[in-house]
Amino acid sequence: MDVWGLDIHHIIPNEIYKEFRSDFKKIRKDGYIQNRSTKAKDKTNLRDLDRPFHGNHPQYNDYVRKRLKKLKKKGNFNITEIKKLQDELRKHIDDALNSDMNLNDYFKEGKHKKKNKH
């Protein structure tokens, strides 16, 4: 949480990053960073979100996990595809913010499926 009461949200959640650590390690040389704080040089994997919206988000995590498994299965676990996934996830987060639902409920209700064809 930062000084304004915002939670720091990892676009690729740390829990999921750890599950795919060896895969992410392979693309680190291409520029992927799983940053830990907003003081990091590369903040592309971070976003400030209000606590009630952010909260616990197992449904979001499940979605990210499935998308990463799909990339890995297709042999597309690379920096280009990870950046595309991060962009997609940012759009889902924006849509969830505009829906008046919290992040977990947005994914639990399947609202992301109407915006995505994966």
Percent of the chain predicted with pLDDT > 90: 41
- Here the contacts of 84-93 (C-beta below 8 Å, separation 24 or greater) are 85/12, 86/11, 86/12, 86/44, 86/45, 88/116, 89/11, 89/12, 89/64, 90/11, 90/47, 91/115, 92/116, 93/9, 93/11, 93/47, 93/49
pLDDT of residue 11: 82
pLDDT of residue 26: 95
